[in-house]
Amino acid sequence: MHFGVPDHASSLAREKRFVQWLEEIAPRCERLILLGDIFDFWFEYRHVQPRGYVRLLGKLAELSDRGIPIELFTGNHDMWYHDFFPQEIGAKIHRKPVLRTYFGKTYYLAHGDGLGPGDHGYKFIKRVFSSRISQWLFARLHPNFGIGIANFFSQKSRIAKKDLDNVFHGEKEFLLIHAREMLRQQPEIDHFVFGHRHHLKKIPLAEGKSVFYLGDWITYFSYLEIGPDGGELKRLTNDEQGF
């Protein structure tokens, strides 16, 4: 979703649409899993939270109070979750890929950043940013300054400029390479589900297995619904609130 960019008005419009969708699916939702980059930036100071997102946070808390389990994966834009979501909303945080079985099928769930071959520069930066000392140092900054710096760079990001990487690299896609390698190691996996790349695709693998790219709530307003018949990519129609 990358809530927070490109500006407050556009982000708020997408947030309202997302909250409306959460309300619509609530009667049939058994579990809600958000695969990262919910926010374009998120950092939890001990006593301060980033301003905004009150509709989203309130709706997630309401769904949790209704008994719907909520799980959040850290993304490359919002890796600095701590105890706010578990304590205030009851959500479970995942920092690594997980395996889950739904309706007899095994799903490999991950945001997707840092997986697969190559991109060693990013993988190094991710290790630095994920370290406790980096987070401790950032927390020493006054929130007005620290969050201000982060918001400045968010406005300069490719997401804010609508410069999404829409080139699909086929067999060279690093997440597809990763999925094939994981399938060799763990052939019991049936489906792989990734965010991160902003593509909306279902890619077939051997023997009825597949890779799902979830799309986003910037261009596609899409999601994956898992049911007894498997996973189905869906998207909202007649949407005019993207950017």
Residue 152, domain CATH: 3.60.21.10
243 domain residue, yes or no = no
Q: Domain containing 132: what range?
A: 8-235
Please report whether residue 113 resides in a domain. yes
pLDDT value at residue 242:
37
Residues of the chain short of pLDDT 50, as ranges, are: 239-243
Task: Determine the pLDDT at residue 165.
Answer: 59
Residue 130 has a pLDDT of: 80
Burial of 138-176, coded b for 16+ CB within 10 Å and e otherwise, reads bbeeeeeebbeebbeebeebebbeeeeeeeeeeeebbbb
Residue 63: count other Cβ atoms within 10 Å of its Cβ.
21
pLDDT at 125: 79
* List of residues 6+ apart from 202 with CB closer than 8 A: 210, 211, 212, 213, 231, 233
Task: Identify the pLDDT of residue 122.
Answer: 76
**How high is the pLDDT of residue 6?**
87
118 belongs to a structural domain: yes
Give the model's pLDDT for residue 195: 94
* Predicted TM-score (pTM) of this structure: 0.87
What is the number of structural domains in the chain?
A: 1
32 and 70 in contact (C-beta within 8 Å)? Answer: yes
pLDDT at 124: 80
Nearest Cα to 160, choosing from 171, 168, 152, 170?
152
- Predicted local confidence at residue 240, as pLDDT: 41
